[in-house]
Amino acid sequence: MFIQIEPTSDIPIYTQLANQIIELIARGQLKGGDTLPSVRALASDLSVNMHTVNKSYHELEHKGIIRIVPKSGAIINPIVQEGITNENSRRIIEQLKPIIAEAIVLGMSPEVIQEQTTSILITLKGE
């Protein structure tokens, strides 16, 4: 697991960690059925507190990305193949909207926004 935490970032550590795990799954470097390190092991690895890692894992579980088996470990769910749910789709769009609005106001043209989106998709999935 190649994870890098910046303790001084304005993004909370547990969010940084959750985001990076999501990115690893999107890239296919973590697959459905793979197990995540124990909260203690990963915490020690990243030099952060056990509870901080635990909070990340529960955020991922709440989003439906992993499942936590008590007293056992955390397992990555397979990437959903049947298409995204309406609820999740709505959430994603609500998150994208303000960022795209900001991009427009800062002078990024719709064409460039599309290009950058494509670029990110290629980076993540190779498509």
- Residues found near a second copy in the complex (CB under 8 A): 19, 22-23, 25-26, 63-65, 79-85, 88-89, 92-93, 95-110, 112-114, 116-121, 123-125, 127
Q: Which does 65 bind (CB under 5 to 8 A by kind): DNA, a second copy, none?
A: a second copy
Q: Convert 60-91 to b/e letters by CB count within 10 Å (16 or more is b).
A: beeeebbeeeeeeebebeeeeeeeeeeeeeee
Neighbours of 108 (CB within 10 A): 14
Q: 10 or 82: whose CB is closer to DNA? A: 10
State the minimum distance, in angstroms, from the CB of residue 109 to a second copy. 7
CB 68 within 8 A of CB 61: yes
Rounded to whole angstroms, how far apart are CA atoms 4 and 12?
13
State the minimum distance, in angstroms, from the CB of residue 5 to a second copy. 14
Q: Which does 1 bind (CB under 5 to 8 A by kind): a second copy, DNA, none?
A: none
